[in-house]
Amino acid sequence: MPAVRGGPARLAGQLTTAERVLGEGNVSPAAMVTQALIVQLACLRLAAHPGWASVAAAKVAPAQRAAAAADIAATTDLVALTPPAARLPPWRIIAAQTPARLQADYQAAQAATGVGWSYLAAINFVETDFGRIIGPSSAGAQGPMQFLPSTWAIYGHGDIHRPRNAILAAARFLRAHGAPGNISSAVYAYNPSWLYVDAVLRYARRLRADRHAFASYYSRQVIYRLGRGWVLLRSGYGINPAIRVIRLDP
């Protein structure tokens, strides 16, 4: 487990290194996962100390500053939306579909509806870490794009848990609510929080601007917020009893 400690200056140094490695796109999958986790932990630590975020972002090296600033801001948004839970979730953590297959599904949905692939990828990332999380939300939403059954009945076709079906349904929903012309309002209709909208749009912009950003986000792991702190839910959690949660201290 990488050690992420210190104040804004040290965190800025760790973010600079991690974002540089992730932006190169020519390292091993294991190295990508490690560096992505450093970004996750550093951003969570900054979110826990609101006065640190702008200081750290300004100290990140210029070449990595835009990526780090987007990740810091989006993480802060999502943490603000995530109240601590009393217990571990009734989820299963599985392997995501391959990047190529996910990209094909996003592109197919874009071709069918005109909704940009980057918004669909960003929502898929925020909602279920690209489909790694299997289980209902606290509100009862299901599937890789987290639809309530009543909403799925309007926009979905087939199995709510099948990634391609869910991605196409999300594209139909967004189009029905103003996308692509008014994507902010469409994303707000998907989840009525401007913090959520800001996070999704930040991730989507990065996905369009940096060809390595998708691999960077795909390399992240599922982190869950309990009242007593953050925990890492590894692949196999909820399936294999031997897979235990890892307590984090960002």
Residues 25 and 112 in one domain: no
Residues 200 and 111 in one domain: yes
Give pLDDT tens digits for 203-227. Answer: 999 999 999 999 999 999 999 999 9
Residues 3 and 34 in one domain: yes
Domain of residue 167, residue span = 99-218
Give the pLDDT score at 95.
Answer: 96
Residues 110 and 198 in one domain: yes
Give the pLDDT score at 127.
Answer: 98
Give the pLDDT score at 117.
Answer: 98
If one counts the domains in the chain, the total is 2
- Does a structural domain hold residue 200? yes
Q: Are 48 and 250 in contact (CB under 8 A)?
A: yes
Distance between CA 13 and CA 17 in Å, rounded? Answer: 6
Q: Are 247 and 229 in contact (CB under 8 A)?
A: yes
Residues 120 and 161 in one domain: yes
| CATH classification of the domain holding 154 | 1.10.530.10
Give the pLDDT score at 186.
Answer: 98
Residue that is last in its domain, among 48, 80, 112: 80
Residues 159 and 207 in one domain: yes
Q: Are 55 and 61 in contact (CB under 8 A)?
A: no
- Does a structural domain hold residue 241? no
Using a 10 angstrom Cβ sphere, with 0-12 exposed, 13-18 middle and 19 or more buried, the burial of residue 20 is middle
- Does a structural domain hold residue 226? no
- Does a structural domain hold residue 250? no
- Does a structural domain hold residue 206? yes
- Does a structural domain hold residue 131? yes
Residues 114 and 190 in one domain: yes
- Does a structural domain hold residue 212? yes
Residues 105 and 186 in one domain: yes
Q: Cα–chain-centroid distance for residue 83?
A: 17
Residue that is last in its domain, among 80, 112, 136: 80
Low-confidence ranges of the chain (pLDDT < 50): none
Give the pLDDT score at 190.
Answer: 98
Residues 105 and 205 in one domain: yes
Query: How high does pLDDT run on average in the chain?
Result: 96
Give the pLDDT score at 59.
Answer: 97
- Does a structural domain hold residue 179? yes
Give pLDDT tens digits for 121-137. Answer: 999 999 999 999 999 98
Q: What DSSP character marks residue 230?
A: E
